[in-house]
Chain A
Amino acid sequence: MASASQHRLRKRLLKAGHFIGLFLAMCVITIPGLWVVLNSFRPTVEIMAKPPVWIPNSLNLDHYRAMFGGAGQGGIPVWTYFTNSLIISVTSTLIALLIGMAGGYAFARYKFKGKAMTFVMLMATRAVPGVALSLPVFIIFGRTGLIDTHLGMILVYVALNVPFTIWLIDGFFRQVPKELAEAAEIDGCTRWQAFWRVEFPVARAGIASAGIFAFLTSWNEYALASQLTRSVSSKTMPVGLLDFTSQFTLNWGGMCALAVLMIIPALILTFLVQKHLIAGLTFGGVKG
């Protein structure tokens, strides 16, 4: 009896602990971000106030209004930046996923000499930091006319994301038992069909998360974009953030407003892709 009630108590405590832990974790995760959102609605005098103003007195859309206003009133070409970011990120993510699926499949399903070495070499390309890469890439792009174009940025982001999509997708393909695909092939499917019918659905979770990562990396990348873009025709939103800084000033409220516009699409996309993540994951049970 005693042990049963003790057991129940422990279970309840665990549940409470779980809840509190989760709540605290979510607070830590969201508060700094929500603080940015809040700042985008507050006048600068209140953000920088000392003693601090904890409960906002006046929330308004001034920073947004200024941002969409004309040049000279603090306006920046938000929509152009937005379109640039969207075109560059979506295209580069799709290409990186295709290349990554091909590569990941090769690593998961084929045996060849120097495989481990090839793999590490591929990954090592990711180790090259943007700072070290930006100048030589700039020189090459300068000679080939790719500077300040969408195509140039897409190429760079595909290269940036490929190693890591390969790695991630490879990991998920490995989870699919070889026998499944082989069985499908015996049933008369070609390897190509077997891939789409058997392996792809199972690895969809991996592909979805690789896609999220690739998209977010491209969407948020700054170091390379700041070198390879120059005018509004290709500047992406992270580079646009710097429009709020000048030699002596930094308009933090305005920066927050643009940041909010950057976060919303990413948030929506993540939320949508989650569905596929779940659908793909249910196949995990097949393995057992």
Chain B
Amino acid sequence: MTRAKLPPWLLLLMPAFLILAAVVLVPLLLSLYSSFTPYQLTRPETLWKINFPFNYEKALTDPGFWKAFGRTVLLLTIALNLEMLLGLGLALMVAKVQRGQRTLRTMMMFPMMFSPILVGFMFKFIFNDNVGLVNNALQSMGLASTAIPWLVDGNLALFAIICAEVWMSTSVFAILILAGLFALPQDPLEAAKVDGCTPWQSFRYVTLPFLMPFIYIAMAIRSLDVARAYDIVQVMTGGGPAKRTELLWTMIGRTGYVDARMGYANAMGYIAILLSIAFTVYFFLKLQSARRELGMGD
């Protein structure tokens, strides 16, 4: 009888709630607890000793942690904006093509076929200073006479990582924006044309507002994923050298698994998760207001 009383929306959402509770929520509670302990993987007995707030204090007072934190935010901001702009440009260009668009679209999605770990290896070789593709090309064309240490210099290494990240993920933006472009109602565009709008004006005032929800969806999804760019960074630089490319996730991965200090790693993980959630909430609010403008809100 209680079943019948469940509102339909809850019924529809129930499978999602169940699976997320089982695979994400319960494990998260476990790791939340462990972040209050000096838990070391290799010493199971350490799980039963509470030392709150030692781990959090240690993380928050560690300048290395804050540097990694800042670098993560910087990487997120640069990569996301770049991917958005490039993705928008790409989608607009592809949308204009009449013939062979299907092939182009598949090509456009080509980088998405690559596993992040593979992208990491790939760009590590491409940016290798001695036998890498980029340096070889630059030297062959006479544009560089020295080996450029792409993965060593702090800024260049961050640049190389962003390149890899942007290369892999611009497609995500492009494909979502393209989908938005196809769903774009034609009437307002034609009306704009009749009213004598320039192509730029009709893009700016008709197309773009319509695309905004799609862009925010893509932004939010990517902002969560870019924070997972662990695989790429781990393979390309491992956070080094001299911590110049250390991101929150490489730091957490190393502390948790290599140093086996799971308690401390989870404490840092929680601080980092809050950061991701802040980004998500931000884009979600943006999405809401973009939808309201289009009259698609609640």
Q: Does B130 contact A (CB under 8 A)?
A: yes
CB-based contact A220/B23 at 8 Å? no
Main secondary structure of the interface of A (DSSP, over half): helix
A216 with B113, Cβ < 8 A, contacts A35-B133, A126-B224 known = yes
Given A110-B9, A111-B298, A263-B114, residue A131 in contact with residue B20 (CB < 8 A): no
Expressed in whole angstroms, the Cα–Cα distance for A174 and B104 within the complex equals 28
- Residues of chain A within 8 A of B130, CB atoms compared: 50
> In the complex, which residues 127-186 of chain B have their Cβ closer than 8 Å to any Cβ of chain A?
130-131, 133, 136, 140, 167, 170-172, 175-176, 179, 182-186
- Interface 1/0 per residue, A130-170 and B, CB below 8 Å: 11110111011000000000000001101110111011100
Expressed in whole angstroms, the Cα–Cα distance for A241 and B183 within the complex equals 39
A186 at the interface (CB under 8 A from B): no
Contacts of A164 in B (CB 8 A): 221
Nearest B residue to A209 via CB reads: B179
Return the contact of B93 from the options A21, A250, A274 (Cβ within 8 A): A21
Number of interface residues of A (CB under 8 A): 99
CA distance A255 to B253 in the complex (A): 24
| Segment of A26-34, A62-70, A73-81 in the binding face | A26-34
User: Closest approach, in angstroms, between the C-beta of B184 and any C-beta of chain A?
Assistant: 7
Partner-contacting stretch, out of B62-70, B201-209, B275-283: B275-283
Are B20 and A163 touching (Cβ within 8 A)? Answer: yes
Measured CB to CB, the nearest residue on chain B to A262 is B115
What distance in Å separates the Cβ of A89 from its nearest Cβ neighbour in chain B?
12
**Cβ of B125 under 8 Å from chain A:** yes
A128 touches B24 (CB 8 A): yes
Q: Which of B70-116 contact A (CB under 8 A)?
A: 89-90, 93-94, 96-97, 102, 104-116
Taking the closest CB of chain B, its distance from the CB of A161, in whole angstroms, is 10
> Which of B15, B213, B277 is A99 in contact with, Cβ under 8 Å?
B15
Task: Assess whether A128 is in contact with B109, with CB atoms less than 8 Å apart.
Answer: no
User: Is B183 in contact with A205, judged by CB distance below 8 angstroms?
Assistant: yes
Residues of B within 8 A of A102 (CB): 12-13, 15-16
Q: Is B9's CB under 8 angstroms from A112's CB?
A: yes
Query: Does B27 count as interface, using CB distance less than 8 angstroms?
Result: yes
Contact of B227 with A137 in the complex, beta carbons under 8 Å: no
By the criterion CB–CB under 8 Å, are B117 and A123 in contact? no
Do A133 and B106 touch across chains, with their CB atoms under 8 A apart? no
Closest to B269 in A: A132
A241 touches B280 (CB 8 A): no
Measured CB to CB, the nearest residue on chain A to B297 is A174
In the bound complex, residues from chain A placing their C-beta under 8 Å from that of B125 are 252
Please tell me which one of the listed residues A110, A129, A166, A281 contacts residue B227 in the complex, with CB atoms under 8 A apart: A129
* CB-nearest residue of chain B to A216: B112
**A72 within 8 A of partner (CB):** no
**7 cross-chain pairs, A with B, having the tightest CB-CB distances, nearest first:** A136-B27, A127-B276, A159-B23, A220-B115, A110-B9, A106-B12, A132-B269
User: A residues near B, CB below 8 A?
Assistant: 18, 21-22, 25-26, 28-30, 32-33, 35-36, 48-52, 54, 98-100, 102-103, 105-107, 110-112, 115-116, 118-120, 122-133, 135-137, 139-140, 155-156, 158-160, 162-164, 166-168, 171-172, 174-175, 205-206, 209, 212-213, 216, 219-223, 237-238, 241-242, 250, 252, 255, 259, 262-263, 266-267, 270-271, 274, 277-278, 281, 284-285, 287-288
Extra 4 A-B pairs, beta carbons < 8 Å, given A51-B140, A125-B24, A220-B114: A106-B9, A127-B279, A212-B112, A212-B175
